[in-house]
Amino acid sequence: MKNADSLERMERIDTLVIDKTGTLTEGKPSVSAIITAEATSEDELLRLSAGVERASEHPLAAAIVAAAEVRKIAIPSVENFDSSSGKGALGTVGGRRVVLGNLSFVEEQGVNTAALASKADELRREGATAIFAAVDGKLAGVLPSPIR
């Protein structure tokens, strides 16, 4: 029955858009890597980030939460959550101030992003969204999220 449902949905399609490589996508973002700065571990960065993003409804936030769930990381709760549409989110997780977002949003929070700025540029050239993460005012990493 599942195949019949799929065929019925395909029959209703009147436009199909593919990228230059011919790849079909679901249009759903996912975390493709975790790039850390300084002494932050991947799991700790993902744990803190997912703690903030669990309170958000943004698709990129859902991708970060899903990545933590795949790794079976316990996701803590967030306090003082705030988000700025199209820019990022911040909150306190386990007593630590966590900021996630685009380059300008994170820099507006007083974080120096220079250590990973060129890596983020490279990720964007490859088609990923570079989500900067900072913990307690220091750059903690970048979470690239391409659309799959």
For 31-68, write each residue's pLDDT tens digit: 888 889 977 899 999 999 999 999 998 888 999 999 99
Active-site residues: which are they? 19
Residue 98's DSSP bridge partners are 91, 135
CA 16 to chain centre: 26
CATH number for the segment(s) 26-146: 3.40.1110.10
**Which of helix, strand or coil describes residue 18?**
coil
Query: What's the confidence (pLDDT) of residue 5?
Result: 59
Is the distance from CB of 47 to CB of 74 less than 8 angstroms?
yes
Domain extent listing, the chain = 26-146
> What pLDDT does residue 58 have?
85
Structure-block tokens of residue 107: 């820099």
Continuous segment of H or E residues that includes residue 138: strand 138-146
| pLDDT of 15 over the 70 cut | no
Spatial contact of 84 and 101, defined as CB atoms under 8 Å apart: yes
> Six-digit token pair at 105?
């949003």
